[in-house]
Amino acid sequence: MSEHRYRVELDWRDGGTETLRATDDESVLDAAEREGVGLPFGCRTGACATCTGRLLSGELQHEREPRALKSDSLADGYVLLCIARPKTDCRIEVGTAVHADLVTNPWK
């Protein structure tokens, strides 16, 4: 088990906030589930983008290539929470509205 534990603040656009303690060897999604915080997810491999968040401060590192994100989305701070591990305390915007920033709903 890692000795590094970081404070991870999750912010929803409706004003909701949750704070987690996450180690640098677990994904943000795994830490959220361990602490009973529900986040959207799909494949858990970084391929579908259902768990997209947007890093507002701090540093995260993807444990493998985030295949579901284009380079411009990565440059804008979007991250995949199923494969992103904290490297510092961080603050992340989360929820389905963040995913909707990247994907247009064809059924509107």
Dist. CA 68–CA 108, nearest whole Å: 22
Q: Is the pLDDT assigned to residue 1 strictly greater than 60?
A: no
pLDDT value at residue 106: 67
The region that residue 93 occupies, defined by phi over 0 for left and psi between -120 and 50 for alpha, beta otherwise, is: beta
The region that residue 85 occupies, defined by phi over 0 for left and psi between -120 and 50 for alpha, beta otherwise, is: beta
What is the average per-residue pLDDT within 53-71?
A: 95
pLDDT tens-digit series, residues 88-97: 999 999 998 8
Dist. CA 26–CA 82, nearest whole Å: 9
pLDDT value at residue 100: 87
pLDDT tens-digit series, residues 5-52: 999 999 999 999 999 999 999 999 999 999 999 999 999 999 999 999
pLDDT value at residue 103: 79
- pTM of the full predicted structure? 0.91
